Structure 1
Amino acid sequence: MHQFMYNLVEDLSVEGAKDHIAVVQYSNEPEVDFYLNAHTAKDDVLRAIQGLRHKGGRPLNTGAALNFVKDTVFTSSAGSKHLHGAAQVLILLLAGRSADDASLPASSVKHRGVVPLAIGVKNAEIGELQAISFDPSYALFIPNFGDLSTIKEQILSSMAQVTGLRRPESPTVLGTYGDMTSDIEVRAVEQEVTKRDVVFLLDDSDDSRDDFPQVQQFVESFVENLNVGSSKDRVAVVQYSNEPTSTFDLNSYSTKEEIVSAIRGMLHKGGRERNTGAALHFVKDFVFTPAAGR
Protein backbone atom coordinates (compact mmCIF):
# COMPACT_ATOMS: atom_id res chain seq x y z
CA MET A 1 0.00 0.00 0.00
CA HIS A 2 2.89 2.35 0.81
CA GLN A 3 4.41 1.80 -2.61
CA PHE A 4 1.07 2.04 -4.42
CA MET A 5 0.25 5.41 -2.83
CA TYR A 6 3.78 6.67 -3.45
CA ASN A 7 3.67 5.72 -7.15
CA LEU A 8 0.18 7.18 -7.58
CA VAL A 9 1.11 10.53 -6.03
CA GLU A 10 4.22 10.73 -8.22
CA ASP A 11 1.89 10.90 -11.25
CA LEU A 12 -0.30 13.67 -9.78
CA SER A 13 0.13 17.46 -10.01
CA VAL A 14 0.42 18.31 -6.34
CA GLU A 15 2.21 21.66 -6.51
CA GLY A 16 0.33 24.90 -5.85
CA ALA A 17 -3.44 24.96 -6.23
CA LYS A 18 -3.72 21.65 -8.10
CA ASP A 19 -4.10 18.14 -6.62
CA HIS A 20 -4.35 17.87 -2.82
CA ILE A 21 -3.76 14.61 -0.94
CA ALA A 22 -5.01 13.26 2.39
CA VAL A 23 -4.57 9.86 4.03
CA VAL A 24 -6.85 8.16 6.56
CA GLN A 25 -6.23 4.74 8.13
CA TYR A 26 -9.00 2.77 9.76
CA SER A 27 -9.94 -0.51 11.40
CA ASN A 28 -12.36 -0.31 14.32
CA GLU A 29 -11.94 3.50 14.25
CA PRO A 30 -10.64 5.89 11.56
CA GLU A 31 -7.66 8.16 12.12
CA VAL A 32 -6.27 10.92 9.92
CA ASP A 33 -2.59 10.71 9.02
CA PHE A 34 -2.66 14.06 7.21
CA TYR A 35 -5.35 16.35 5.77
CA LEU A 36 -5.77 17.80 2.28
CA ASN A 37 -4.22 21.11 3.36
CA ALA A 38 -1.29 19.57 5.28
CA HIS A 39 1.18 19.52 2.37
CA THR A 40 1.43 21.70 -0.74
CA ALA A 41 4.57 20.15 -2.28
CA LYS A 42 4.78 16.68 -3.79
CA ASP A 43 8.04 15.88 -1.95
CA ASP A 44 6.36 16.64 1.38
CA VAL A 45 3.44 14.33 0.54
CA LEU A 46 5.82 11.54 -0.51
CA ARG A 47 7.82 11.87 2.72
CA ALA A 48 4.59 11.74 4.75
CA ILE A 49 3.55 8.56 2.91
CA GLN A 50 6.95 6.97 3.55
CA GLY A 51 6.53 7.75 7.24
CA LEU A 52 3.15 6.05 7.63
CA ARG A 53 2.92 3.24 10.17
CA HIS A 54 0.39 0.41 10.21
CA LYS A 55 -1.85 0.86 13.25
CA GLY A 56 -3.79 -2.43 13.32
CA GLY A 57 -7.08 -3.17 15.06
CA ARG A 58 -10.33 -5.13 14.76
CA PRO A 59 -12.98 -5.08 13.35
CA LEU A 60 -13.00 -3.40 9.92
CA ASN A 61 -15.68 -0.69 10.19
CA THR A 62 -15.75 0.67 6.65
CA GLY A 63 -19.12 2.40 7.13
CA ALA A 64 -17.84 4.42 10.09
CA ALA A 65 -14.70 5.29 8.11
CA LEU A 66 -16.75 6.56 5.16
CA ASN A 67 -18.83 8.79 7.43
CA PHE A 68 -15.63 10.05 9.07
CA VAL A 69 -14.07 10.98 5.72
CA LYS A 70 -17.27 12.75 4.63
CA ASP A 71 -17.64 14.76 7.82
CA THR A 72 -13.99 15.41 8.69
CA VAL A 73 -11.76 15.23 5.61
CA PHE A 74 -13.79 16.39 2.60
CA THR A 75 -14.53 19.72 4.27
CA SER A 76 -13.41 23.27 3.56
CA SER A 77 -11.68 23.57 6.93
CA ALA A 78 -9.57 20.48 6.13
CA GLY A 79 -8.56 21.82 2.72
CA SER A 80 -11.31 20.61 0.39
CA LYS A 81 -11.92 22.85 -2.63
CA HIS A 82 -15.36 21.42 -3.41
CA LEU A 83 -16.96 24.87 -3.23
CA HIS A 84 -14.61 25.94 -6.03
CA GLY A 85 -15.59 23.04 -8.30
CA ALA A 86 -12.67 20.71 -7.51
CA ALA A 87 -13.39 17.01 -8.09
CA GLN A 88 -13.52 15.04 -4.83
CA VAL A 89 -12.03 11.54 -5.19
CA LEU A 90 -11.86 8.86 -2.49
CA ILE A 91 -9.56 5.87 -3.15
CA LEU A 92 -10.56 3.17 -0.67
CA LEU A 93 -8.24 0.21 -0.02
CA LEU A 94 -9.62 -2.67 2.04
CA ALA A 95 -8.76 -6.31 2.61
CA GLY A 96 -12.04 -7.71 3.92
CA ARG A 97 -15.77 -7.32 4.29
CA SER A 98 -16.94 -4.46 6.48
CA ALA A 99 -18.16 -5.34 9.97
CA ASP A 100 -20.67 -2.49 9.87
CA ASP A 101 -23.04 -1.34 7.15
CA ALA A 102 -21.14 0.47 4.39
CA SER A 103 -23.92 0.96 1.83
CA LEU A 104 -25.74 3.87 3.49
CA PRO A 105 -22.54 5.75 4.38
CA ALA A 106 -21.31 5.21 0.82
CA SER A 107 -24.53 6.71 -0.52
CA SER A 108 -24.14 9.66 1.84
CA VAL A 109 -20.55 10.18 0.64
CA LYS A 110 -21.73 10.26 -2.98
CA HIS A 111 -24.51 12.71 -2.14
CA ARG A 112 -21.88 14.99 -0.63
CA GLY A 113 -20.15 15.14 -4.03
CA VAL A 114 -17.36 12.63 -3.44
CA VAL A 115 -16.51 9.95 -6.03
CA PRO A 116 -15.38 6.71 -4.30
CA LEU A 117 -13.11 4.21 -6.10
CA ALA A 118 -13.03 0.98 -4.06
CA ILE A 119 -10.09 -1.45 -4.32
CA GLY A 120 -10.50 -4.81 -2.62
CA VAL A 121 -7.76 -7.30 -1.76
CA LYS A 122 -7.80 -10.81 -0.26
CA ASN A 123 -11.15 -11.29 1.55
CA ALA A 124 -12.94 -8.21 0.22
CA GLU A 125 -16.29 -8.86 -1.49
CA ILE A 126 -16.86 -7.53 -4.99
CA GLY A 127 -20.54 -6.77 -4.30
CA GLU A 128 -19.61 -4.48 -1.42
CA LEU A 129 -16.88 -2.83 -3.52
CA GLN A 130 -19.39 -2.12 -6.28
CA ALA A 131 -21.94 -0.71 -3.81
CA ILE A 132 -19.33 1.64 -2.35
CA SER A 133 -17.89 2.82 -5.67
CA PHE A 134 -19.37 5.76 -7.57
CA ASP A 135 -20.01 3.37 -10.45
CA PRO A 136 -19.69 -0.46 -10.34
CA SER A 137 -17.09 -0.25 -13.12
CA TYR A 138 -14.83 1.71 -10.74
CA ALA A 139 -14.70 -1.20 -8.26
CA LEU A 140 -11.54 -3.33 -8.53
CA PHE A 141 -10.53 -6.62 -6.93
CA ILE A 142 -7.02 -8.07 -6.87
CA PRO A 143 -5.86 -11.26 -5.11
CA ASN A 144 -2.84 -9.77 -3.31
CA PHE A 145 -1.45 -6.39 -2.30
CA GLY A 146 1.55 -7.14 -4.51
CA ASP A 147 -0.77 -6.74 -7.50
CA LEU A 148 -1.58 -3.09 -6.70
CA SER A 149 1.07 -1.94 -9.15
CA THR A 150 -0.90 -3.53 -12.00
CA ILE A 151 -3.94 -1.27 -11.51
CA LYS A 152 -2.25 2.12 -11.10
CA GLU A 153 -2.94 3.21 -14.66
CA GLN A 154 -6.57 2.08 -14.34
CA ILE A 155 -7.00 4.22 -11.21
CA LEU A 156 -5.41 7.22 -12.90
CA SER A 157 -7.72 6.73 -15.88
CA SER A 158 -10.79 6.62 -13.59
CA MET A 159 -9.63 9.78 -11.84
CA ALA A 160 -9.23 11.49 -15.20
CA GLN A 161 -12.80 10.53 -16.11
CA VAL A 162 -14.06 11.97 -12.83
CA THR A 163 -12.31 15.32 -13.27
CA GLY A 164 -13.46 15.54 -16.88
CA LEU A 165 -17.20 15.10 -16.25
CA ARG A 166 -19.41 17.99 -17.39
CA ARG A 167 -23.16 18.49 -17.66
CA PRO A 168 -25.51 20.05 -20.25
CA GLU A 169 -26.32 23.71 -20.76
CA SER A 170 -29.53 25.42 -19.67
CA PRO A 171 -32.36 25.28 -19.02
CA THR A 172 -31.50 22.68 -16.39
CA VAL A 173 -33.78 20.81 -14.01
CA LEU A 174 -32.19 18.66 -11.34
CA GLY A 175 -34.21 15.91 -9.71
CA THR A 176 -34.52 14.97 -6.07
CA TYR A 177 -31.64 14.60 -3.63
CA GLY A 178 -31.10 10.98 -4.67
CA ASP A 179 -29.95 12.16 -8.10
CA MET A 180 -27.00 14.09 -6.73
CA THR A 181 -24.80 11.02 -7.18
CA SER A 182 -25.14 11.08 -10.96
CA ASP A 183 -24.72 14.87 -11.08
CA ILE A 184 -21.56 14.86 -9.02
CA GLU A 185 -19.63 17.25 -11.23
CA VAL A 186 -22.53 19.42 -12.33
CA ARG A 187 -21.08 22.12 -10.07
CA ALA A 188 -18.13 22.48 -12.46
CA VAL A 189 -20.36 23.84 -15.21
CA GLU A 190 -18.88 25.64 -18.20
CA GLN A 191 -18.71 29.40 -17.65
CA GLU A 192 -18.64 30.53 -21.28
CA VAL A 193 -22.41 30.03 -21.69
CA THR A 194 -23.93 33.51 -21.52
CA LYS A 195 -27.10 32.66 -19.64
CA ARG A 196 -28.75 29.72 -17.90
CA ASP A 197 -31.99 29.25 -16.03
CA VAL A 198 -31.36 26.62 -13.34
CA VAL A 199 -34.24 25.19 -11.32
CA PHE A 200 -33.71 22.88 -8.36
CA LEU A 201 -36.65 20.57 -7.72
CA LEU A 202 -36.17 19.21 -4.20
CA ASP A 203 -37.88 16.29 -2.50
CA ASP A 204 -39.45 17.73 0.65
CA SER A 205 -41.24 14.59 1.85
CA ASP A 206 -40.82 13.11 5.31
CA ASP A 207 -38.35 10.53 3.97
CA SER A 208 -35.86 13.26 2.99
CA ARG A 209 -35.84 15.14 6.32
CA ASP A 210 -32.53 13.76 7.64
CA ASP A 211 -30.76 14.43 4.34
CA PHE A 212 -32.05 17.97 3.86
CA PRO A 213 -28.90 19.72 5.20
CA GLN A 214 -26.88 17.81 2.60
CA VAL A 215 -29.31 18.95 -0.08
CA GLN A 216 -28.84 22.56 0.99
CA GLN A 217 -25.06 22.18 0.89
CA PHE A 218 -25.20 20.65 -2.59
CA VAL A 219 -27.40 23.44 -3.96
CA GLU A 220 -25.19 26.09 -2.36
CA SER A 221 -22.05 24.48 -3.82
CA PHE A 222 -23.64 24.45 -7.27
CA VAL A 223 -24.66 28.10 -7.10
CA GLU A 224 -21.17 29.14 -5.97
CA ASN A 225 -19.91 28.05 -9.41
CA LEU A 226 -22.54 29.89 -11.45
CA ASN A 227 -22.20 33.32 -13.03
CA VAL A 228 -25.27 34.82 -11.38
CA GLY A 229 -26.79 38.05 -12.68
CA SER A 230 -30.00 39.47 -14.10
CA SER A 231 -28.74 38.91 -17.65
CA LYS A 232 -26.61 35.85 -16.81
CA ASP A 233 -27.37 32.72 -14.76
CA ARG A 234 -30.54 32.73 -12.69
CA VAL A 235 -31.69 30.25 -10.09
CA ALA A 236 -35.02 29.04 -8.73
CA VAL A 237 -35.91 26.46 -6.09
CA VAL A 238 -39.09 24.40 -5.82
CA GLN A 239 -39.78 22.08 -2.88
CA TYR A 240 -42.42 19.38 -3.10
CA SER A 241 -44.04 16.42 -1.38
CA ASN A 242 -47.86 16.21 -1.58
CA GLU A 243 -47.86 19.54 -3.42
CA PRO A 244 -45.10 21.71 -4.92
CA THR A 245 -44.31 25.24 -3.72
CA SER A 246 -41.88 27.82 -5.10
CA THR A 247 -39.24 28.70 -2.54
CA PHE A 248 -38.06 31.46 -4.88
CA ASP A 249 -38.41 32.14 -8.62
CA LEU A 250 -35.85 32.82 -11.33
CA ASN A 251 -36.44 36.58 -11.03
CA SER A 252 -36.52 36.72 -7.22
CA TYR A 253 -32.81 37.44 -6.76
CA SER A 254 -30.16 39.01 -8.99
CA THR A 255 -27.00 38.38 -6.92
CA LYS A 256 -25.24 35.21 -5.83
CA GLU A 257 -25.14 36.39 -2.21
CA GLU A 258 -28.94 36.75 -2.09
CA ILE A 259 -29.45 33.28 -3.55
CA VAL A 260 -27.01 31.63 -1.16
CA SER A 261 -28.69 33.38 1.77
CA ALA A 262 -32.10 32.13 0.59
CA ILE A 263 -30.75 28.57 0.23
CA ARG A 264 -29.34 28.62 3.75
CA GLY A 265 -32.68 29.84 5.04
CA MET A 266 -34.73 27.04 3.46
CA LEU A 267 -36.77 24.91 5.84
CA HIS A 268 -37.86 21.32 5.36
CA LYS A 269 -41.67 21.28 5.30
CA GLY A 270 -42.38 17.57 5.14
CA GLY A 271 -45.30 15.61 3.78
CA ARG A 272 -46.26 11.95 3.45
CA GLU A 273 -46.53 11.66 -0.33
CA ARG A 274 -43.92 12.33 -3.02
CA ASN A 275 -45.83 13.48 -6.10
CA THR A 276 -42.97 13.98 -8.55
CA GLY A 277 -45.24 14.06 -11.60
CA ALA A 278 -47.29 16.95 -10.23
CA ALA A 279 -44.08 18.75 -9.27
CA LEU A 280 -42.69 18.46 -12.81
CA HIS A 281 -45.94 19.87 -14.24
CA PHE A 282 -45.73 22.71 -11.73
CA VAL A 283 -42.18 23.59 -12.81
CA LYS A 284 -43.22 23.56 -16.47
CA ASP A 285 -46.36 25.66 -15.98
CA PHE A 286 -45.29 28.11 -13.27
CA VAL A 287 -41.48 28.31 -13.05
CA PHE A 288 -40.10 28.08 -16.59
CA THR A 289 -42.36 30.96 -17.62
CA PRO A 290 -41.80 34.66 -18.53
CA ALA A 291 -43.81 35.73 -15.49
CA ALA A 292 -41.45 33.84 -13.19
CA GLY A 293 -38.33 35.19 -14.90
CA ARG A 294 -37.51 32.92 -17.79
Structure 2
Amino acid sequence: MLNFVKTFLQHEDIESGKVRVGVVTYSTSVSIQFHLNEHTSRHDLEKAIDGIPYQFGNTNTAGGLRTMHNVMFTAAHGDRPDADNIGIILTDGVSNIEHHLTIPEANSAKDSGITIYAIGIGLTETEELDGMASLPTDAHSFNVDDFSELDNLHDVVFDSTCEGKPCT
Protein backbone atom coordinates (compact mmCIF):
# COMPACT_ATOMS: atom_id res chain seq x y z
CA MET A 1 0.00 0.00 0.00
CA LEU A 2 2.81 2.40 0.82
CA ASN A 3 4.46 1.90 -2.57
CA PHE A 4 1.10 2.46 -4.25
CA VAL A 5 0.66 5.79 -2.43
CA LYS A 6 4.15 6.96 -3.44
CA THR A 7 3.65 5.89 -7.05
CA PHE A 8 0.21 7.50 -7.09
CA LEU A 9 1.72 10.83 -6.02
CA GLN A 10 4.95 10.70 -8.03
CA HIS A 11 3.90 13.26 -10.66
CA GLU A 12 2.09 15.67 -8.36
CA ASP A 13 3.47 19.11 -7.58
CA ILE A 14 4.02 18.80 -3.84
CA GLU A 15 6.64 21.56 -3.60
CA SER A 16 4.34 24.32 -4.87
CA GLY A 17 1.64 23.39 -2.37
CA LYS A 18 -0.90 22.76 -5.13
CA VAL A 19 -1.33 19.21 -3.81
CA ARG A 20 -1.30 18.50 -0.10
CA VAL A 21 -1.31 15.02 1.37
CA GLY A 22 -2.32 13.72 4.77
CA VAL A 23 -2.59 10.11 5.90
CA VAL A 24 -4.86 8.43 8.41
CA THR A 25 -4.41 4.70 9.03
CA TYR A 26 -6.95 2.48 10.67
CA SER A 27 -7.34 -1.03 11.94
CA THR A 28 -8.81 -1.60 15.39
CA SER A 29 -7.73 1.96 16.23
CA VAL A 30 -7.25 5.06 14.10
CA SER A 31 -3.91 6.89 13.81
CA ILE A 32 -3.09 10.17 12.12
CA GLN A 33 0.25 9.60 10.43
CA PHE A 34 0.59 13.19 9.22
CA HIS A 35 -1.61 16.18 8.40
CA LEU A 36 -2.14 17.96 5.08
CA ASN A 37 0.20 20.81 6.03
CA GLU A 38 3.12 18.80 7.41
CA HIS A 39 5.15 17.81 4.33
CA THR A 40 5.93 20.36 1.65
CA SER A 41 8.60 18.51 -0.32
CA ARG A 42 8.41 15.22 -2.19
CA HIS A 43 11.45 13.91 -0.30
CA ASP A 44 9.89 14.58 3.11
CA LEU A 45 6.52 13.20 2.00
CA GLU A 46 8.04 9.96 0.69
CA LYS A 47 10.13 9.57 3.84
CA ALA A 48 6.99 10.02 5.96
CA ILE A 49 5.09 7.47 3.86
CA ASP A 50 7.96 4.98 4.22
CA GLY A 51 7.77 5.43 7.99
CA ILE A 52 4.09 4.46 8.29
CA PRO A 53 3.88 1.31 10.42
CA TYR A 54 1.61 -1.61 9.59
CA GLN A 55 -1.32 -1.80 12.00
CA PHE A 56 -2.62 -5.22 12.91
CA GLY A 57 -6.21 -5.61 14.00
CA ASN A 58 -9.78 -5.32 12.85
CA THR A 59 -11.24 -2.93 10.28
CA ASN A 60 -12.52 0.35 11.73
CA THR A 61 -13.34 2.16 8.49
CA ALA A 62 -15.98 4.35 10.19
CA GLY A 63 -13.33 5.64 12.60
CA GLY A 64 -10.93 6.33 9.75
CA LEU A 65 -13.59 8.24 7.80
CA ARG A 66 -14.63 10.21 10.89
CA THR A 67 -11.03 11.23 11.59
CA MET A 68 -10.40 12.13 7.96
CA HIS A 69 -13.50 14.31 7.83
CA ASN A 70 -13.45 15.94 11.27
CA VAL A 71 -9.72 16.22 11.95
CA MET A 72 -7.73 16.08 8.71
CA PHE A 73 -9.92 18.34 6.57
CA THR A 74 -9.73 21.37 8.85
CA ALA A 75 -7.99 24.70 8.29
CA ALA A 76 -5.74 24.06 11.31
CA HIS A 77 -4.38 20.93 9.62
CA GLY A 78 -3.97 22.30 6.09
CA ASP A 79 -7.40 22.31 4.43
CA ARG A 80 -7.97 25.25 2.09
CA PRO A 81 -11.36 26.68 1.11
CA ASP A 82 -10.30 27.02 -2.55
CA ALA A 83 -9.03 23.43 -2.86
CA ASP A 84 -10.95 20.36 -3.94
CA ASN A 85 -10.97 17.87 -1.08
CA ILE A 86 -10.33 14.26 -2.04
CA GLY A 87 -10.39 11.29 0.31
CA ILE A 88 -8.97 8.01 -0.91
CA ILE A 89 -9.98 5.03 1.19
CA LEU A 90 -7.82 1.91 0.82
CA THR A 91 -9.19 -1.23 2.44
CA ASP A 92 -8.61 -4.95 2.30
CA GLY A 93 -11.63 -5.84 4.38
CA VAL A 94 -15.21 -5.01 5.21
CA SER A 95 -15.71 -3.00 8.41
CA ASN A 96 -16.12 -5.03 11.57
CA ILE A 97 -15.95 -2.19 14.09
CA GLU A 98 -18.86 0.27 14.03
CA HIS A 99 -19.94 -1.36 10.77
CA HIS A 100 -23.33 0.36 10.93
CA LEU A 101 -21.59 3.79 10.95
CA THR A 102 -19.27 3.31 7.97
CA ILE A 103 -21.61 4.50 5.23
CA PRO A 104 -23.15 7.30 7.37
CA GLU A 105 -19.62 8.59 8.12
CA ALA A 106 -18.80 8.48 4.40
CA ASN A 107 -22.03 10.31 3.59
CA SER A 108 -21.25 12.99 6.16
CA ALA A 109 -17.82 13.52 4.57
CA LYS A 110 -19.32 13.64 1.07
CA ASP A 111 -22.03 16.07 2.23
CA SER A 112 -19.28 18.42 3.43
CA GLY A 113 -17.71 18.44 -0.05
CA ILE A 114 -15.13 15.66 0.14
CA THR A 115 -14.98 13.50 -2.97
CA ILE A 116 -14.36 9.92 -1.88
CA TYR A 117 -12.59 7.29 -3.95
CA ALA A 118 -12.99 3.86 -2.36
CA ILE A 119 -10.40 1.23 -3.30
CA GLY A 120 -10.82 -2.35 -2.21
CA ILE A 121 -8.02 -4.87 -2.49
CA GLY A 122 -9.24 -8.43 -2.99
CA LEU A 123 -12.73 -7.89 -1.59
CA THR A 124 -15.44 -10.45 -2.32
CA GLU A 125 -18.18 -8.15 -0.96
CA THR A 126 -18.31 -4.61 -2.42
CA GLU A 127 -21.60 -3.16 -1.10
CA GLU A 128 -19.82 -1.17 1.63
CA LEU A 129 -17.08 -0.06 -0.78
CA ASP A 130 -19.65 1.25 -3.25
CA GLY A 131 -21.62 2.91 -0.44
CA MET A 132 -18.56 4.88 0.68
CA ALA A 133 -17.69 6.10 -2.82
CA SER A 134 -18.90 9.36 -4.32
CA LEU A 135 -21.31 9.22 -7.23
CA PRO A 136 -21.20 8.00 -9.89
CA THR A 137 -20.03 4.85 -8.16
CA ASP A 138 -18.40 3.33 -11.23
CA ALA A 139 -16.05 6.33 -11.38
CA HIS A 140 -15.22 6.36 -7.65
CA SER A 141 -15.23 2.73 -6.48
CA PHE A 142 -12.56 0.22 -7.46
CA ASN A 143 -12.06 -3.36 -6.34
CA VAL A 144 -8.89 -5.03 -7.55
CA ASP A 145 -6.86 -8.15 -6.85
CA ASP A 146 -3.62 -6.16 -6.54
CA PHE A 147 -2.30 -2.63 -6.90
CA SER A 148 -0.96 -3.13 -10.43
CA GLU A 149 -4.56 -2.93 -11.63
CA LEU A 150 -4.76 0.69 -10.45
CA ASP A 151 -2.23 2.20 -12.85
CA ASN A 152 -4.76 4.58 -14.41
CA LEU A 153 -6.35 5.70 -11.13
CA HIS A 154 -4.04 8.71 -10.83
CA ASP A 155 -5.46 10.21 -14.01
CA VAL A 156 -9.04 9.52 -12.94
CA VAL A 157 -8.57 11.31 -9.61
CA PHE A 158 -6.36 14.27 -10.45
CA ASP A 159 -7.34 15.06 -14.03
CA SER A 160 -11.09 15.09 -13.42
CA THR A 161 -11.16 16.65 -9.95
CA CYS A 162 -8.28 19.09 -9.64
CA GLU A 163 -8.14 20.72 -13.07
CA GLY A 164 -6.30 23.99 -12.52
CA LYS A 165 -7.13 24.08 -8.80
CA PRO A 166 -5.30 22.98 -5.67
CA CYS A 167 -6.15 19.60 -4.13
CA THR A 168 -5.96 18.53 -0.52
**Aligned residues between the structures:** 160
RMSD (Å), alpha carbons:
1.8
Structure having the higher Rg: 1
Q: Residue 66 of structure 1: CA displacement?
A: 0.7
Q: Residue 154 of structure 1: CA displacement?
A: 2.3
Secondary structure in 2 matching 1:86: coil
Which aligned pairs between 1:117-128 and structure 2 lie closer than 5 A? 117-123=117-123, 125-128=125-128
The Cα offsets for residues 238-259 of structure 1, whole Å up to 9 and x where unpaired, read as: xxxxxxxxxxxxxxxxxxxxxx
C-alpha spacing 1:90/1:152, structure 2 compared with 1 (3 Å) = farther
Q: Residue 113 of structure 1: CA displacement?
A: 1.0
Structure 1 gaps of 5+ residues are 166-294
Q: Distance in 2 between matches of 1:92 and 1:30?
A: 13
Q: Which residue matches 1:93?
A: 90
Q: Distance in 2 between matches of 1:76 and 1:125?
A: 36
Amino acid at match of 2:151: K
**Larger relative contact order (Cα-Cα within 8 Å, sequence gap ≥ 6):** 2
C-alpha spacing 1:61/1:30, structure 2 compared with 1 (3 Å) = same
The sequence identity of aligned pairs, in percent, is 26
Question: Does the 8 A contact of 2:123 with 2:143 survive in 1?
Answer: no
Q: Distance in 1 between matches of 2:11 and 2:125?
A: 29
Q: Distance in 2 between matches of 1:91 and 1:20?
A: 13
Q: Distance in 1 between matches of 2:60 and 2:124?
A: 13
The Cα offsets for residues 58-104 of structure 1, whole Å up to 9 and x where unpaired, read as: 2x1111211111110011001111x1x20111111001111212111
Amino acid at match of 1:141: N
Q: Residue 150 of structure 1: CA displacement?
A: 2.6
Q: TM-score, normalised by structure 1?
A: 0.52
Question: Does the 8 A contact of 2:24 with 2:67 survive in 1?
Answer: no
The Cα offsets for residues 5-56 of structure 1, whole Å up to 9 and x where unpaired, read as: 1111212111122100111110122101111011111111011111221021
Q: Distance in 2 between matches of 1:153 and 1:123?
A: 20
**1:157 and 2:156 correspond:** yes
Which aligned pairs between 1:16-165 and structure 2 lie closer than 5 A? 16-58=16-58, 60-81=59-80, 83=81, 85-99=82-96, 100-101=99-100, 102-123=102-123, 125-135=125-135, 136-137=137-138, 138-143=140-145, 147-164=146-163
Q: Distance in 1 between matches of 2:92 and 2:141?
A: 13
Q: Residue 124 of structure 1: CA displacement?
A: 5.6
Which aligned pairs between 1:228-267 and structure 2 lie closer than 5 A? none
Runs of 4+ off more than 4 Å: none
Secondary structure in 2 matching 1:91: strand
Secondary structure in 2 matching 1:107: helix
Q: Which residue matches 2:12?
A: 12
Q: Distance in 2 between matches of 1:18 and 1:155?
A: 15
C-alpha spacing 1:89/1:124, structure 2 compared with 1 (3 Å) = farther
Question: Does the 8 A contact of 1:21 with 1:35 survive in 2?
Answer: yes
Secondary structure in 2 matching 1:65: helix
Q: Distance in 1 between matches of 2:103 and 2:93?
A: 15
Q: Residue 126 of structure 1: CA displacement?
A: 1.7
Larger CA deviation: 134-143 vs 116-125 = 116-125
Q: Residue 125 of structure 1: CA displacement?
A: 2.5
Question: Does the 8 A contact of 2:90 with 2:118 survive in 1?
Answer: yes
Q: Distance in 2 between matches of 1:124 and 1:159?
A: 28
